[in-house]
Amino acid sequence: MLINGNPLLKVLGGGPLNVQDQWESKWSILLSNNPWDCCTALSLKRWLNSHQSIIPNLVDIHCMRGNLTELVPLFEISDSNLTCIPEPPIPFQQTSYFHAIIGVLVVVSLILTTALLFKRFESLIKLKFFIWFGWRFDRIDNSNKQYDALLSYSGLNGDWVRDELLIKLEEAGYKLCLHERDFRAGEPIMDNINNAIDNSKRTIIVLSNEFLQSGYALYEFLRSYDDWVRGERDPVILVLYDSLDTLDEDDLAKHPSLKLYLSTRTYLARNNKYFWENIILAMPRPATKATRSRQ
């Protein structure tokens, strides 16, 4: 009887055939080249061992575990290796908890990654949203100040301050305090400076080598810096008139507070192509006309 080369996996009952002893010498059964399942082949193995006389290709009968074929002939495999204990299925509730935990971890990871990326590129992101959509994310400064900003600069840089910086910001709706225009005549210069700082939401420092030589301009920075140190506000907007490496190191070293501020805070470079967008973002939101009328 030829039943080799078929996709037979297992047998039911005691074996492939119930062969009577008196007929065994007349039978020959070929069972090789079938993918017998090792986990259900124990009864087949026992039948093979008891009917070896009619199985001419006994050594060619192998069983399979999944997609792997056992190299040892089936009849030589121990009984213990032909009994497979199925792995218990994971309870539904346990798998649900597992999937829920994985989902929560993925969401938390995405949130943390997004937050870290936003913090790392916060200035750039805010700038792009302002350029593309005109959106701002800062809170409205409702402090009752007369000016949005005091312009602090050396007179030697006054042409750019008056002809460009002042005009651009006032066109954007800001009210600025300018020394020669808004200081009260007849009052001491130090009183004028202190009043201007106290009544301004920001102090725009136009930093240059000429600024480092100006005692009054440096005082305006130090007064505003002192407010920042005390935590009253963060009023200083630092504008580099030229590049940082053009500043005189010896003069800068004489003013450790200014040097510290440069190393710890963001400054704006006048020659940056996004300078005007950046300085608008650093300024408080301009007051409405109704607010102006009450000041």
CB 88 within 8 A of CB 55: no
pLDDT of residue 11: 56
pLDDT of residue 207: 94
pLDDT of residue 175: 93
pLDDT digits (tens, 9 = 90+) for 179-220: 999 999 889 999 999 999 999 988 999 999 999 998 889 989
pLDDT of residue 190: 92
88-107 b/e (C-beta count within 10 Å ≥ 16 → b):
eeeeeeeeeeeeeeeeeeee
pLDDT of residue 239: 94
pLDDT digits (tens, 9 = 90+) for 136-167: 555 555 568 889 999 999 999 999 999 999 99
Q: Report whether CATH 3.40.50.10140 matches the domain 142-294.
A: yes
Which residues of the chain fall short of a pLDDT of 50?
5, 9, 14-15, 19-23, 289-295
- Report d(CA 237, CA 194) in Å as an integer: 17
pLDDT of residue 294: 42
pTM comes to 0.54
pLDDT of residue 289: 47
Of the candidates 136, 138, 164, the one whose C-alpha atom is nearest the C-alpha of residue 151 is 164
pLDDT of residue 22: 47
Q: Which two tokens stand for residue 179?
A: 């020394």
**N- to C-terminal Cα separation, the chain:** 110
Taking the domains of the chain in order of start, what are their residue ranges? 21-82, 95-129, 142-294
Question: Alpha-carbon torsion 45, 50, 55, 60, what sign?
Answer: positive
pLDDT of residue 231: 67
Phi/psi of residue 103, nearest 5 degrees: -60, -45
pLDDT of residue 291: 43
pLDDT of residue 169: 94
- Report d(CA 284, CA 265) in Å as an integer: 17
CB 11 within 8 A of CB 48: no
pLDDT of residue 193: 92
Task: Find the largest Cα–Cα distance for the chain.
Answer: 138
